[in-house]
Amino acid sequence: MSSEAGGEARQPSPGTRRNGPAPISGYDPGLMSGSLTFGRFCADGMNRLLSRDGEPIAVTPKAFDTLWWLIDQRHRVVSKEELIEKVWAGAFVTEATLTQNIYTLRKVLDTGDGPRWIRTVPRRGYRFEGEVTSADAADGDPRAAPESPPPGEASIQSLAVLPLHALVPTPVPDGPLAPAAGEDERLLGLGLADAVITSLSNVRQLAVRATSSILRYVDVDERDPVAIGRELGVEGVLEGTVQRLGTRLRVRLQLVSVDRGVACWAESFQGSFRDLFAAQDAIAREIVSRLRVKLTRQEERQLAAPPTHNLEAYRVFVRGRYAWNQRTGDDLRRAIELFREAVALDPDYAQAYAGLADALILLPFYGAARPRDAFRQARDAARRALEIDHDLADAHTSLAYTDYVYSHDWQAAETGFERALACPGDYATAHHWYAFLLSALGRHDEAIHHATRALDLEPLSLVISTDAAMTQYFARREEEAVDHLMGVIEVAPGFGYAFFALALCLSALGRHAEAIEAARRACELLADSPVPRAALGFALARGGQPEAARQVFVDRSGTERLGSAHASQPQAAHRALVLIGLGKWDEALDALVDAREERSRFVALMAVWSIFDPLRGMPRFERLLADLGLPSGP
C-alpha cells in the first residue's frame, strides 16, 4: 500500500507558520533547567533525560518534552491543542503523534507498583497527577549544569543541512566538469548538501535529517533557518552558498542555533572544483569539530570515504535524486535512467544503486511499470548496493521492502528492516516501510509506533504523515485516521495520496458520498496513477452506483478491463477492489490470484485490510492467506 519513500516535491512553503493556537509564552524545550522528581523517576530538564531509580530510560526528545510540560502544568488539565503547540512549536503534526507520545510515556512510567502518572480527561486533554519535587540548576544539581561549550562552538545533537544557494557562476570550459545543457546550477548546492548529509549520517552522536527532508528547499530563495529548524525539529541548521569561479569552487557556510536564533560559527572553503570530494570531507570534519563530537575509528573511515571518485557519475546521481523527488511517472523513469547512467560511469557507486532501487519501488504506483518486473529489478539493485557497502541503510530498507512485497518472505523482510535501523542515521524510511510490514502481520501497536517515529524524523513529510494514518486504518481505527488525514489535507490540499487514503477510510465508515468525493479528487491529482481509480470504483460500488463503478476501468476504446487480466491497466489488485465493492466474490478471488502473481503490494495486506472482510471464511481466500503465511483474521 505504501506509495512512496520519504519526501515529496510539492509541499507548503517552508518557513511559514501553520494555523493553530497562539504560542504559549514561557516554555522553550531548549531552555529547560533543573530536575523534577516524582516517585522512582527523575526528569532532568537540561539534559532532557528521564531516569528510574537512577537508570536512564530511552524516550524520544518529543516524548520527554511532552512529559516536562505536563509536569510543569500539573495544577491543571492541558489540552491536546496546547501540548501540540508547545512541544512541536507550530510544525504540522496531528493528534495521533501526540497520542503515540502519551502511549510511550505510559509504557515506561506505569510500572504496576506505583500511581498512574498521566490521566486522560475525556474531551479535555491530559493531567499529570502525583507529588513532584524540583531542583533548580542554581541549587547545585550536577546533572542540571553540564559543561557549556566554548565560544563559537555549539551544543547541538540534531542537524539539518539545507541545499546551498548557488551564486551566479562564471563560464566553465567544456568537458566532464561542465554542467549539462540547460541544467540548473542550483543542483550543485543540492549535491554538496546531500554529500555532507551522507557523511554526517555515519556519526551516531548526530541526528541528521535525510536528504528527502531538505529537497523542498532547493527552489526557495529566501529561507529562515530558525523557522525551518523548528519545522524539522532540529537544534541546528547548516546553510550557505556555493559558487564556481572558472575551475575553482568557493563555499561559505554558517551553523545556526535554532534555540538561540543566532549563527554559532561561519566558515569559508575554497579549492579546485576537481577537489570537490575533498571539500565535502573538509566541511563534514569542520562540523564534527565544531560540535565537539568524538569519532570512532569506523566513523573516521566512513567520514573520509566519498561515495564515488567519479565527478561525472556524481553529477548524474544528483540529477537523478532531483528527478526522483518530483514524484510523477515520467520523472521516476527519468530518475531511473540517470541512476543507471551513474552506475555505468562508476559500477561501484553504492548510493546510485540504492537510488535506482528506490525509484523502481515507487514506479508501479504511478502505473508506469508492472509490480513484478519493477520489484525484481529493485531487489537486484539493492543487493548490488549492499555488496559494495553493507552499512547502507537505504539499500537494506529497499531490499527488505522487496522481501516484503515481492518475495512475501516476512521474516527476511523484518530482519532487513532491523538491519537498516541498526545502521547509523536512524533512517526514517526504514521505520516508515517497516510499519507497513508490521501492519500486514497484525502487529498494529508496533506499526503505529514505527510510523510515528518516522514522522518524528521527517515531520514535514506528507507521505509519511499519510501512511501513519494508514497504519491506524489497518488497525480499524478509522475515525482517528480520518482526523489525521484531514489535518494533512488542510496543510497540503493538492496532495493526492492523502485523498486516496481518506476515501478508503470514509468507505470503511460507511460515509460513501464523502468517500466518492475524496476518491474523485485523488484521481484528479494523481492522473497518471491507476490506484485512486480503484478506490473510486470501490467507493462508487459501495455507494450504490454499480454502473459508474464499472466505468472506472473502461479504456479509451470503450472496452471494459474489469473482469479479466489484460496487458494494459488496471492491475489485477485494482480490479479486485472494484469487484469486491460490486459483490462479485468469485471474480474478485480470481483477480487476487492474479494480483499475487503480479506481486501487488495490496496482496500483502489482505489479512488486515477491511476491504477484504467480505471474503473472509471463503475457502479460496483462506487458502490464499495460508499460502502466503499470513494470519487468517484481522
What is the tens place of the pLDDT at every residue in 38-88?
888 898 877 778 888 888 887 777 888 899 889 888 888 888 888 887 887
The matching CATH number, chosen from 3.100.10.20, 3.40.50.2000, 3.30.365.10, 1.25.40.10, for 324-410 is 1.25.40.10
How high is the pLDDT of residue 278?
72
Q: Give which of 426, 464, 503 is closest to 11, Cα–Cα.
A: 464
The pairs formed by 448-455 with CB atoms below 8 angstroms and a separation of 24 or more are: 448/96, 448/100, 448/472, 448/475, 449/100, 449/104, 452/96, 452/97, 452/100, 452/101, 453/60, 453/428, 454/6, 454/428, 454/429, 455/93, 455/97
- Under 8 Å between Cβ of 379 and 402: yes
Say if CB 202 and CB 189 are below 8 A apart.
Answer: no
**Which helix (H) or strand (E) element contains residue 456?**
helix 444-457
**C-alpha–C-alpha distance, residues 281 and 216, integer Å:** 24
Q: What is the largest CA-CA distance in the chain?
A: 81
Unique residue bearing C-alpha cell 544539581: 141
What is the residue type of 296? T
> Quick one: pLDDT at residue 1?
57
DSSP of 138-203, one letter per residue? GGT-GGGSPPPPPTT-----EEEEPPPEEPPPPP--SSTTSPPTT--THHHHHHHHHHHHHHHTT-
Q: For residues 14 and 92, what is the distance between their CA atoms, to the nearest angstrom? A: 11
Instruction: Look at residue 615 in the predicted model and tell me its pLDDT.
Output: 96
| 3-class secondary structure, 262 | strand
By C-alpha distance, which of 407, 331, 398 is closest to 358?
398
Extract the residue ranges of the chain whose pLDDT is less than 50.
3-31, 137-152, 170-183, 556-560, 563-569
Q: CB count, 10 Å around CB of 355?
A: 27
Dihedral pair phi/psi, residue 305, rounded to 5°:
-95, 110
pLDDT of residue 217: 84
Report pLDDT for 16: 35
In whole angstroms, what is the distance from residue 358 CA to residue 217 CA? 21
Contact 403, 387 (CB under 8 A): no
| Cα–Cα distance, 530 to 570 (Å, whole number) | 6
Specify whether domain 29-139 bears CATH 1.10.10.10.
yes
| 442: amino acid identity, one letter | G
Alpha-carbon distance of 65 to 411, in angstroms, equals 35
What is the pLDDT, as a whole number, of residue 324?
84
Pairing state between β 158-161 and 125-128: unpaired
Spatial separation of the C-alpha atoms in residues 68 and 85, rounded to whole Å = 14
Q: What does DSSP say about strands 165-166 and 262-272: parallel, antiparallel, or unpaired?
A: unpaired
Domain extents in the chain = 29-139, 158-306, 324-410
Nearest to 235 by CA among 94, 98, 68, 65: 65
Q: Do domains 29-139 and 158-306 have the same CATH topology?
A: no
Whole-number pLDDT of residue 29: 44
* Residue 459: cis peptide before it, omega within 30 degrees of 0: no
Q: What values do phi and psi take at 266, rounded to 5?
A: -140, 150
Beta strands 207-208 and 158-161, pairing class? parallel
481, exposed or middle or buried, with CB in 10 Å at 0-12, 13-18, 19+? Answer: buried
Q: How far is CA 91 from CA 18, 523, 533, in A?
A: 7, 28, 32
Question: Cβ contacts of residue 479 below 8 Å, gap of 6+?
Answer: 509
Q: Which residues of 545-579 are buried (b: 16+ CB within 10 A; e: fewer)?
A: bbeebbebbeeeeeeebbeebbeeebbbbbbbbbb
Residues 191, 315: contact at Cβ < 8 Å?
A: yes
What integer pLDDT is reported at residue 140 of this predicted model? 40
> Would you state the pLDDT for residue 26?
36
Which residue type does 354 have? A
Give the three-class secondary structure for 80.
helix
What pLDDT was estimated at residue 32?
56
Q: Is 443 helix (H, G, I), strand (E, B) or coil?
A: coil
**pLDDT given at position 555:** 54
What's the CATH fold of domain 158-306? Rossmann fold (3.40.50)
Residues forming beta bridges with residue 57, ordered by sequence position = 50
Residue with cell 496543510: 491
